[in-house]
Structure 1
């Protein structure tokens, strides 16, 4: 899936007048799920703008990119929802949210809010050796894991990166046999036991509905 680097996606192509309108300013890794929820719930007053998912490889750049996007869009929207967890920013997104009076998604990362933050945190100690994939990462495993870590060129690095993991847990947002096959292949390539859990949209659906209300 090709995403715009940072472009508002509207249902009718018209520029919003601001009043009553909601912008979800999100990580590109959540574009499919947020778009699906907007359509499923007929949220015609909600628009989506995506930042590149590859920013996760440089989390220190996420908050500055969000700041620029908030400043660009805030005059056109009554409400802005930040479609990120903390995402390795060490609280930078929370400080940005406090500065602008906006809300972000709950939890530290997408694994938590897809699972449900409470459930994920309760299981965290028992799953410290689990490596997680979402639908997005199952699709983009090579682009976001294999190549950035150099495993395509230096497979001997696998043990260094993944030697402390014992399983790959695929947190599935959809029932897609092809994505399951890809996730299972990813587990095999890393030498990890495969496990699949269907999460659906998890807390993402609840938070989006609340922000859109």
Structure 2
């Protein structure tokens, strides 16, 4: 395999990104990169009043994700050690475009492009989708206090936003394959056959990238 694998698992809130990333990391013995969520001091306020707390929330996420990607680039990818992450930093644009006011978003966009201009790009993106009903069920099961006030309309918008963002990303980066899995049809946490199916698809994608 000529390219050091860097897999990013993406999808809306509650779809199972971290669970799948862990399973993939365990299977291939890749380094697991998990995004910082619980440590964001603004997140509980954000779900109570999105308009008031969106800029603080998005800037915290951007700065921390930038630092994480900088670290894995230096410590792992540059030393040919494969990585699987439970996010892609472009998710910042999905969320910020939806939540920030126009002038805030313009400033945010400038900062985003400065920070990410030389960041490593994934060699493969795994895109998880699910219906609103499934997402709400999984969010409830994991029981994070700061997510109990999440707005259903906001979550439904994110489902749409992710679909559009993935289509655009495929156009902008045609050399980065995207594998899409339906979380309503696959339960890779409780069903080993579903996880095996996903792993086989990842095997094929990684093999083709190494040819």
TM-score range, shorter chain: 0.3 to 0.5
Q: Which structure has the larger Rg? A: 1
Instruction: Point out the structure with the larger strand share.
Output: 1
Q: Which of structures 1 and 2 has the larger relative contact order (alpha carbons within 8 angstroms, sep 6+)?
A: 2
Structure with bigger helix share is: 2
